[in-house]
Structure 1
Amino acid sequence: MLRYQMQRFIMLVAILFVMLPLTTSASAEPINEIRQLIKEYYIDDVPESVLSRSTAKEITNGLDPHSVYMTKQEYEAFINGIEQRIVGIGVVLEESDIGIKVISVIKDGPASKAGILPGDIITHVGGTSLKGKSVQAAIPLISGKENTNVSLTIEREKTDRPINMTIRRAEIHLPTVESDMLGGNIGYIRLNSFATDSSKEMENAIQSLSGAEAFIVDIRNNGGGYITAAQEIAGFFPGVEQAFQLREKNKNPAIYPAVHQKQQITGPVSLLVNEYSASASEMLAVNLKEQKAAKLYGANTYGKGTMQSMYAFNDGSVLKMTTARFYSPKGIAVDKIGVLPDVKTKKNDELTTAHYDLLLASLKDYQAFPSLTNVETTKKFTVSMTKEMEWRHLGNKSVQLLEVGGKESSVRIAVKDGKTIEVIPEAPLLSGGKYVLIIHPVWKDKKGNGVKKGIYLDVTVK
């Protein structure tokens, strides 16, 4: 299971780039152009009392919450959010008693190159103590403008004295797609944003999960991005020919196709959503649900079913304006409604529930045994048979222990006697974790008779 987490900016956007460069003086806002664009393209009629306001931001404040006039700097920050670009040193942090602890270090980022390690504790930034400070309070001290320096004091285990280092801040491009292989050959793909390179990263993720028999695609906390990316991502799901329906002002509804991809997701698909899955995420979710291309797990999505178009001006400023509402290809509304999952789950249980259901679906011909509850983290499992067994041919995969929501746990098998073996996990079980112990029907008794049916049982850990 991916343990990598960091705070993410919820963008709440489905964007179509129009980017019409309009002439305006260097010192004045393009008020007249903005008024004209709103009259022609804004999704709803706007009263003159709003259009007659004196500044661009006052006018857009009278529109819906997703329409806004941005300066050049605001626009650049907005696009960086979609593209998962940040400026900093590249660390994931949490609070510690003596400072701020480094949980993970982003590969090839400034911190990685400077030698910062997971487990390091940042005690001071530029001489300012971080003792007792929250991560939110520490981030503004550590981050800053690109190509500027930050001085850190580090406490590290097994070192006698603090480590002082100076790191140059840089732009860091976070992956928009992350992937891992979960236990039971179930591919996990997390899509963080619908960005320019998301379809390419998605293709790479699917290729890296070769051998997956089912997939979990995670769009929790994904606030959207480009509608072109939504079209491309939809094309990875077999049988999905259409992406969404758009309804613009004074135009007939138009259905947009999915962009078919050569690399396809195979097997059953579960899609994870929550209340922060918005906009382009909801485009994908309502589409896959309607076309039965995935089973949705989680909570009702955000309910932002509008698309914004971008209009650029010569001074670098940009008008982001709602110009359409989107629906499923067959016309199911999303705006102010959201997408209802097929399986409602408790918060943060989306992944474990989906994984468990996929595991059980793959074990439909196996017999369920009574669960083991509140076992110790050092638990050893005893398996007893009714006949003398030929244990010499035990294979490595005859017994599997799978963490629900995570990976396969390595186990070794110790023969106790002719009828009994012991399954011993190579590492302690996760406290509070849930596992599935699977015994496959590959064993034979002394007379050469094979076990007719596999078994499985649930295991919960104290």
Structure 2
Amino acid sequence: MLRTQMQRIIMLFAIVFVMLPLTNVTAAEPIDEIRQLIKDHYIDDVPDSVLLRNTGKEIINGLDPHSEYMTKQEYEAFINGIEQRIVGIGVVLEESENGIKVISVIKDGPAFKAGIVPGDIITHVGDTSLKGKSVQVAVPLISGKENTYVSLTVLREKTEKPINMSIRRAEIHLPTVESEMLGGNIGYIRLNSFSTDSGKEMEKAIQSLAGAGGFIVDIRNNGGGYITAAQEIAGFFPGVEQAFQLREKNKKPEIYPSVYQKQKIDGPVSLLVNEYSASASEMVAVNLKEQKAATLYGKNTYGKGTMQSMYAFNNGSVLKMTTARFYSPKGIAVDKVGVSPDVKTLVNEELTTAHYDQLVMTLKGYKAFPTLEKVKTTKTFTVSMTKDMDWRQLGKNAVQLIEIGGKESSIRIEVKDGKTIEVIPEYPLQSGKKYMLIIHPAWKDKLGNGMKHGIYLDVTVR
């Protein structure tokens, strides 16, 4: 045990932050305390050849990639990242062999406007190489004062030469939770981080989507956050009473409950994941999959099934150290294997696939007609019936045109004759997009006989 009193505060990135004000260490590096913490709490045994290294960073470099000894400034930048408080260029990063990899780019931020894309590897900041450097080292170099510039060298897949660019830093405003109603009355919620306000923001998002027939929850590119936020998010899903299982050093496995939420997500749920969904995102994903509370769409997740504790010292430095591995409540492993989706999709087709499937679920008894391929953006749809119709019964919701992965398109209906109408989009269709045209069985012929079933057909736009 440490000779000094410790106060532990637990949180998760699949992280546990343990805030430990320690005795009289003010300026000198608390090397002895670091060694003792590793002996007592690090998830695996560490050889003396590592523990006897001269500095805290040298010792931590001998542990797993998710352990780190941070200065006060590095720690503040780390926390700001989780809480979505960012002054910089607007990217989410991870370590890579040749530098620091960009795993997501904040929409409309400086990096987005400069053309940075997920998968890019930042090899240099100015003349400083990032090869072998941690994210905690890279962040202070890339970030800085608002309206100043940073020069980056970027490697991009399928691009032979490095790309040099200068990007102006800015304050990034990224909400923790974003939401909107998609076409067909499907609620869409994007969770960007598991931060301190994620639970409250999630509740607001669900309330704003009242009446939704189904939900799509998007945790793609979400690198994690606090363990308590993962417990809170799990509580919004009906029937999910347990959040995860933790296995710490020399302790029995312990199952942690979800946080009860009065507000629930009703209806079918699709959960979007990709290879950059990590840590607390995977904690939620493996749980919902195990409990059959959601259908997972996308790619296999990152595979970070470890939890880190944060120990803060009086000199302002912080030790982030892996102290546990997490599993699903029933014991499904995540570390180094990730969470596999129920429905594998192509890259960037997670949302459209999930939206399409949810729409089809609402159309039971409808007949699927052949797809209209590569129509013009100015396409007008002609609907012909076999009998003379009483078009006075034609309501405004009898026909829907829905962009897959987007909203319902505004249309107007013109009667051509007793058997034919035209469905005319109010605005041009989007090139490269896919739509669904739905004709609901709401019409009657002139003898008062109703349609036996509705129909739907897919439309692709060239």
Question: TM-score normalised to the size of structure 1?
Answer: 0.81
Aligned to 1:283: 283
Amino acid paired to 1:73: Q
1:78 aligned counterpart, secondary structure: helix
* 8 Å Cα contact 1:351-1:405 kept in structure 2: yes
1:413 aligned counterpart, secondary structure: strand
Over 3 Å counting, the alpha-carbon distance change for 1:249 and 1:149 in structure 2 is closer
Aligned to 2:152: none
Matches of 2:207 and 2:42, distance apart in 1: 41
Matches of 1:257 and 1:79, distance apart in 2: 25
Aligned to 1:55: 55
Aligned to 1:46: 46
Residue 361 (str. 1) matches residue 326 (str. 2): no
Unaligned runs of 5+ in 2: 1-11, 92-105, 115-121, 127-139, 150-167
Residue 262 (str. 1) matches residue 269 (str. 2): no
- For residues 143-167 of structure 1, what are the alpha-carbon distances to aligned partners after superposition, in whole Å with 9 as ceiling and x for unaligned? 7415x789xxxxxxxxxxxxxxxxx
* 8 Å Cα contact 2:15-2:306 kept in structure 1: no
Amino acid paired to 2:65: P
2:265 aligned counterpart, secondary structure: coil
Over 3 Å counting, the alpha-carbon distance change for 1:88 and 1:250 in structure 2 is closer
Matches of 1:62 and 1:44, distance apart in 2: 12
- For residues 238-283 of structure 1, what are the alpha-carbon distances to aligned partners after superposition, in whole Å with 9 as ceiling and x for unaligned? 0100000000001000000000111110100000111111110000
Matches of 1:90 and 1:81, distance apart in 2: 10
Matches of 1:219 and 1:353, distance apart in 2: 15
Question: TM-score normalised to the size of structure 2?
Answer: 0.81
Aligned to 1:229: 229
Aligned to 1:435: 435
Matches of 2:142 and 2:300, distance apart in 1: 36
2:309 aligned counterpart, secondary structure: strand
- For residues 375-395 of structure 1, what are the alpha-carbon distances to aligned partners after superposition, in whole Å with 9 as ceiling and x for unaligned? 111000000011111112211
Residue 395 (str. 1) matches residue 398 (str. 2): no
Aligned to 1:239: 239
1:187 aligned counterpart, secondary structure: strand
**5 Å matches for 1:109-124?**
none
Matches of 2:421 and 2:56, distance apart in 1: 75
Pairwise CA distance, 1:447: 1.3
* 8 Å Cα contact 1:222-1:278 kept in structure 2: yes
1:17 aligned counterpart, secondary structure: coil
Aligned to 2:214: 214
Matches of 1:347 and 1:355, distance apart in 2: 15
The two structures, once aligned, show a CA RMSD in angstroms of 2.6
What percentage of aligned pairs have identical amino acids? Answer: 80
**5 Å matches for 1:10-25?**
13-25=13-25
* 8 Å Cα contact 2:28-2:315 kept in structure 1: no
Over 3 Å counting, the alpha-carbon distance change for 1:143 and 1:412 in structure 2 is farther
Aligned to 1:27: 27
- For residues 179-201 of structure 1, what are the alpha-carbon distances to aligned partners after superposition, in whole Å with 9 as ceiling and x for unaligned? 11111100111111101111111
Matches of 2:88 and 2:13, distance apart in 1: 24
Residue 411 (str. 1) matches residue 422 (str. 2): no
Matches of 1:357 and 1:61, distance apart in 2: 46
Over 3 Å counting, the alpha-carbon distance change for 1:170 and 1:405 in structure 2 is closer
Q: How many residues align?
A: 396
- For residues 115-158 of structure 1, what are the alpha-carbon distances to aligned partners after superposition, in whole Å with 9 as ceiling and x for unaligned? xxxxxx99xxxxxxxxxxx9x999x9997415x789xxxxxxxx
**5 Å matches for 1:146-157?**
none
* 8 Å Cα contact 2:403-2:435 kept in structure 1: yes
Matches of 1:201 and 1:404, distance apart in 2: 26
Over 3 Å counting, the alpha-carbon distance change for 1:378 and 1:273 in structure 2 is same
Over 3 Å counting, the alpha-carbon distance change for 1:328 and 1:422 in structure 2 is same
Aligned to 2:301: 301
Pairwise CA distance, 1:346: 0.8
Aligned to 2:163: none
Aligned to 1:385: 385
* 8 Å Cα contact 2:25-2:313 kept in structure 1: no
Over 3 Å counting, the alpha-carbon distance change for 1:235 and 1:47 in structure 2 is same
Structure 1, 82-91 or 320-329: larger mean CA deviation = 82-91
Matches of 2:259 and 2:229, distance apart in 1: 9
Matches of 1:253 and 1:433, distance apart in 2: 48
Pairwise CA distance, 1:14: 1.2
- For residues 58-81 of structure 1, what are the alpha-carbon distances to aligned partners after superposition, in whole Å with 9 as ceiling and x for unaligned? 000000000110000000000111
Amino acid paired to 2:206: I
Unaligned runs of 5+ in 1: 1-11, 92-102, 112-120, 123-133, 151-167
Pairwise CA distance, 1:217: 0.5
* 8 Å Cα contact 1:24-1:313 kept in structure 2: no
2:49 aligned counterpart, secondary structure: helix
2:202 aligned counterpart, secondary structure: helix
